Structure 1
């Protein structure tokens, strides 16, 4: 019987399959077995041999079929390919001792140091040949197989022991769960887990476009992925692995697998005589090695190998920072031994650092809170003024067109004011034309519109990226200053589905749901609920700043609040009326008018009203009594909302920030304050004021309406100007 007849999923898998719920148990068991075998075969062809025989879509269909069959009939196995989607989250990573020490390597970027290494090898063990390999810039790993089955994977750690990351490494498809061929009964191999450059750029593009911070470089992305406590997160990362050393190999598994600690090489039971034999044999077991490895006759051949590879560095789909030169003969390696830190039989010849010029791997579109799309060049990491840079601003579509920048081009990167990296010019054109913006937002698929040189997503607050940034801004110092709702917690709320459509969702949060989130407790949930309740009556200017009208910050918001008095008047103001306000020009007036004309934005404002948010029009205090003083609040004030207190301070010339530093003059400590700000105040010798002391400091507003006057006005059916609310805008 042919291989194809035995397993129909190896080549040209059938399109039509029996529905899973119509399979008998024996049929399901047989199909699961065939699917596992086929998927292992296709994984090996794709990852180890770089020679796939079926399309990616077909592979995905077979993989999902195996998932469905296993789940429907309870047929999951320890070594099933479906384990690659990730298992249960871990509480912590356990520490495990290595089979053999995983030591470091001497290194230098100078050819003379390499020649000195070669002379020393000749003196100590005679004329030798060398195995040369790329020095991968990833994460070193020990992987152990017993009887051909994946047993465990351990990070390098301190060289003697490391973290058990088996659950995460199982998710990497280029690392087989089961060996093939004539493998040893016990095999411990050393490899390098890495993220391919193209996959890294694509992954970073996705992170930027959904509002997450991109990884600085592939190595950081790999290291963070491998040490996740939730294997399903690792499974989502595009990781790969090269193997390059056998730490121990035996046909008799009765041994302990320990290496001679003095020599740093496996004991005499190992089955390989040379490093080159390892490189050529590991693929027979299904373990991926690097195709650029070479065997050379002497150290000059190793230097030539390095010089050739440095010229090809940019064309490789993985990061390397040099080459590794190893004495080929394993017996000679044992004789040479090791120090307490590094092998004496290996040397790393490093590449020079990239400086200033690098390749653009991807262009990501970052969506701001106002919908503005900022193009970001995702770069092969490059040193710019002593800082490793992996992304740089392209500013806007007009500048991209002017500079003719595109993916694949080599560009010169500079840092504006020695801080913000930007693409200065194209130094080598490797593409045709320039990067053109898509027709729709990469996050919400809404149409993209151009306004001169700037591009905008038209999705408004319905765009997920704009939603994340708008919620963060709404709660920030520039918005309503909602303590306890920083960026990480906003991300938690979005990921948990507690905030899905707009900032109005904040006022529908449930205390029990908050307590159920990681890192939250009863106290933090109660504090946030109280902060949200306090934020329901903000000054109009603070509310206008918080809702994210393009080009309207706190200063412009104050001018608008003073000019129109209430939200209803502002929402109905014409462009001409808006232009009549100080500091409001034609462009800003148009932006304000478009914001309030948007049905989506008006819907969100209605939802805020329904949630109880009532922005107040207040008379601005003026004076310079607090000029030059900086205040921070913690806890709630008994007689004012925090927004009212902030308005008062700023009207008297002071400023309010969200965190304590050496520049802070006073920390106002209200009811149920947090601990971190008080600790920072103590560390920075900042004066604390209780609410009464704060009121004494700012004094009494003689023009303010008294409670008695207010009651009399209400009894007469009159309305104070500071009582007109958002509700009036929707009558």
Structure 2
């Protein structure tokens, strides 16, 4: 049981830890002091719940209760402009970055010598013992006996190594390993990872703590995430390591927040105690115990052994358990336990002399290709899969392996009947790296027609796509799922299983068919009741006049996500204007280059997609237009909003941005106006005074917009 001294929040003092109340009084009824006090309790409670969920895997409350606490904290911070530095709400992401800055590490992040042979591990042990004996002889350490040496053994995670810095217990920075001396600054990205505490637990921690960890994607989460990518017609990650590395290097932290990353911490890079902080532990095993008290997640498969044979046995145990672990490992790391021994052994320019990685052998096998299946994703992308004579690869029977795309098939020269090598990349997705024996004539002929709907197949570089669009059943099912996503039309109750059920029942054979559904139709299906049926019909009815950007995002146009959809909506103002825009006009939109413009134009030119859009409009689904005539009416102005307005802050920002203005979250010397609604935050007003930025109440803001021909508040025509 975790003691109260190392908790983020004590249930005896914080009402939001155990059985928390979620029926909150209106935000507007609170004073600023009351809001600040409640927010402080909620921050501590949310940190505690994050730790129990992500680190200890023993949540105290249900997801619904957690969501209510998190939402209340977000509302308080927004309404009263409370400081969010270190707040759990910052995990949801932040402003996208232009690029990743390079930062110097606090201490070098060195490589580790490695080998797959036990003989090399025993040689490492001999070097350690000889080095410590020499250090004792020279007086660098006070004597050395064989019994003094112990090793700590840990799984070698196959992820991305990161440096994380805490000062006075607060998370301040994270960086990738890079070249060991410098790495990419991923502070905003790592902040979104649920298992990384924004504040260390308890009060007894170093003044400055720099730790090394491994960012990884759990195997079950990786498989689910890859499945979702494939369903959307996107390129899946080859292995969990690529997934972790690719995620952390995303420039948009909100993208990182949506992906299932985790971190294990396994070493101290710097420990500065300060006047009252604890001293650094003398042994590595005790440092890992300290990690637990700080709330830093560490792996539970660590073992301490007295000799190198124990370390070799440990490696064999982890190898045998490899397939049962929920994270990818490619070996074990053997470390000298005592800090004084580590310091005596020192390091070379590239690796410490006190650590060694005993790696696993590669996981490969040879088998025969018995067939090739071509799958169709949401965007129409065709993905070939090799059907194999089942073969054991590292203890797992493999009967299918990805061939990635037509260009990969051509590069391999593979065909049905060939003997191929199978490699289990990252312990998860098998793929074919080479043909080892050619037993067929020629190369597999990729189909010219979609295997599902028979439409023509088009090549785009190394990839192939079905041109059937929304008329292809395989694409339709995924298109409906995409339409219902939160970042599109946000239709609750329309998940993958229900979409499949509706299609199989013949109720949804095209996207417009969704709006023909009746509660009676749905209630007649297995697993539906009158309430759930009525709720889905109501959800769909509520999307008949969606914002133009949501409508565009819901269509699933290749290369058009929520951000590009907003830019298109702001530029063209109406669906009809966009439907008629040529590639030249599309390329005038920010972030729309030649390839994206061609992709948009191709999507709208296809008969099946035009028919689906027309069908939606016939059923009363008409996206709201934006008055594009005043698209530059506020050009050059920068606004910051605080307090409660007659519309939401997000709608206010979108309203001015659609007319050429910038809307930022903090006041600076570049800000033209701070717009203050009811209960405005004090810090933004103070910043405005310091920067000599005019402060407008909502009436003055409306007058300013009116002078430029822009209405306020936004009405339905906006």
TM-score grouping bracket, smaller chain normalisation: 0.5 to 0.7
1:665-680 correspondence to structure 2 within 5 Å: none
Name the counterpart of 1:168.
189
Name the counterpart of 1:507.
580
Question: Does 2:136 align with 1:129?
Answer: no
Closer, same or farther in 2 for the Cα pair 1:120/1:369, shift >3 Å?
closer
Name the counterpart of 1:209.
231
Q: How many residues get paired?
A: 474
In 2, Cα distance between equivalents of 1:159 and 1:214: 29
Are 1:371 and 1:457, in contact at CA under 8 Å, matched by a contact in 2? no
**Helix, strand or coil at the partner of 1:10:** coil
In 1, Cα distance between equivalents of 2:596 and 2:268: 56
In 2, Cα distance between equivalents of 1:321 and 1:274: 25
Closer, same or farther in 2 for the Cα pair 1:391/1:54, shift >3 Å?
farther
Counterpart selection for 1:305 from 298, 308, 314: 314
Name the counterpart of 1:478.
none
Q: Which moved more, 1:277-286 or 1:205-214?
A: 205-214
Name the counterpart of 2:298.
289
In 1, Cα distance between equivalents of 2:428 and 2:295: 39
Name the counterpart of 1:226.
248
Are 1:470 and 1:503, in contact at CA under 8 Å, matched by a contact in 2? no
The offset of 1:308, in angstroms, is: 0.5
Counterpart selection for 1:63 from 53, 70, 87: 70
Closer, same or farther in 2 for the Cα pair 1:63/1:447, shift >3 Å?
closer
Question: Does 2:99 align with 1:99?
Answer: no
Closer, same or farther in 2 for the Cα pair 1:204/1:366, shift >3 Å?
farther
Question: Does 2:509 align with 1:458?
Answer: yes
Closer, same or farther in 2 for the Cα pair 1:323/1:237, shift >3 Å?
same
1:606-685 correspondence to structure 2 within 5 Å: none
In 2, Cα distance between equivalents of 1:50 and 1:392: 37
Closer, same or farther in 2 for the Cα pair 1:149/1:413, shift >3 Å?
closer
**Helix, strand or coil at the partner of 1:132:** strand
Name the counterpart of 2:165.
144
In 2, Cα distance between equivalents of 1:90 and 1:150: 19
In 2, Cα distance between equivalents of 1:195 and 1:59: 23
Name the counterpart of 1:20.
27
In 2, Cα distance between equivalents of 1:411 and 1:86: 28
Are 2:160 and 2:244, in contact at CA under 8 Å, matched by a contact in 1? yes
Closer, same or farther in 2 for the Cα pair 1:300/1:236, shift >3 Å?
same
Are 1:207 and 1:213, in contact at CA under 8 Å, matched by a contact in 2? yes
**Helix, strand or coil at the partner of 1:241:** strand
In 1, Cα distance between equivalents of 2:111 and 2:581: 55
Closer, same or farther in 2 for the Cα pair 1:372/1:123, shift >3 Å?
closer
In 1, Cα distance between equivalents of 2:381 and 2:323: 35
Are 2:150 and 2:306, in contact at CA under 8 Å, matched by a contact in 1? yes
Name the counterpart of 1:86.
93
- Larger Cα-atom Rg: 1
Are 2:170 and 2:200, in contact at CA under 8 Å, matched by a contact in 1? yes
**Which runs of 5 or more residues in structure 2 are unaligned?**
134-145, 368-373, 405-426, 436-442, 445-473, 484-493, 515-548, 620-718
In 2, Cα distance between equivalents of 1:103 and 1:220: 21
Question: Does 2:122 align with 1:115?
Answer: yes
The offset of 1:356, in angstroms, is: 4.9
Closer, same or farther in 2 for the Cα pair 1:120/1:12, shift >3 Å?
same
The offset of 1:507, in angstroms, is: 2.3
Closer, same or farther in 2 for the Cα pair 1:211/1:315, shift >3 Å?
same
1:225-264 correspondence to structure 2 within 5 Å: 225-252=247-274
Are 1:321 and 1:351, in contact at CA under 8 Å, matched by a contact in 2? yes
In 2, Cα distance between equivalents of 1:196 and 1:7: 32
In 2, Cα distance between equivalents of 1:226 and 1:527: 28
Are 1:461 and 1:501, in contact at CA under 8 Å, matched by a contact in 2? no
The offset of 1:314, in angstroms, is: 0.9
In 1, Cα distance between equivalents of 2:75 and 2:507: 42
Name the counterpart of 2:84.
77
In 1, Cα distance between equivalents of 2:32 and 2:287: 43
Counterpart selection for 1:518 from 591, 600, 603: 591
Structure 2 length normalisation: TM-score? 0.57
The offset of 1:515, in angstroms, is: 2.7
Name the counterpart of 1:342.
351
**Helix, strand or coil at the partner of 2:341:** helix
In 1, Cα distance between equivalents of 2:244 and 2:37: 37
Are 1:370 and 1:460, in contact at CA under 8 Å, matched by a contact in 2? no
Counterpart selection for 1:180 from 197, 201, 220: 201
The offset of 1:343, in angstroms, is: 1.0
The offset of 1:82, in angstroms, is: 0.7
In 2, Cα distance between equivalents of 1:443 and 1:356: 38
Are 2:401 and 2:430, in contact at CA under 8 Å, matched by a contact in 1? no
CA RMSD, Structure 1 to Structure 2 (Å): 5.0
In 1, Cα distance between equivalents of 2:70 and 2:268: 31
Counterpart selection for 1:157 from 178, 182, 186: 178
The offset of 1:327, in angstroms, is: 0.9
In 1, Cα distance between equivalents of 2:22 and 2:597: 56
Name the counterpart of 1:351.
360
In 2, Cα distance between equivalents of 1:372 and 1:102: 42
In 1, Cα distance between equivalents of 2:246 and 2:353: 31
In 2, Cα distance between equivalents of 1:456 and 1:355: 46
In 2, Cα distance between equivalents of 1:105 and 1:516: 48
Q: Which moved more, 1:42-51 or 1:510-519?
A: 510-519
Name the counterpart of 2:289.
280
In 1, Cα distance between equivalents of 2:615 and 2:123: 74
The offset of 1:275, in angstroms, is: 1.1
Are 1:449 and 1:458, in contact at CA under 8 Å, matched by a contact in 2? no
Name the counterpart of 1:586.
none
In 2, Cα distance between equivalents of 1:413 and 1:340: 36
Are 1:470 and 1:547, in contact at CA under 8 Å, matched by a contact in 2? no
Closer, same or farther in 2 for the Cα pair 1:225/1:207, shift >3 Å?
same
Structure 1 length normalisation: TM-score? 0.56
In 1, Cα distance between equivalents of 2:512 and 2:129: 70
Are 2:232 and 2:379, in contact at CA under 8 Å, matched by a contact in 1? no
In 2, Cα distance between equivalents of 1:201 and 1:147: 38
The offset of 1:383, in angstroms, is: 9.8
Are 1:170 and 1:177, in contact at CA under 8 Å, matched by a contact in 2? yes
In 1, Cα distance between equivalents of 2:575 and 2:224: 28
**Helix, strand or coil at the partner of 2:259:** coil
Are 2:232 and 2:378, in contact at CA under 8 Å, matched by a contact in 1? no
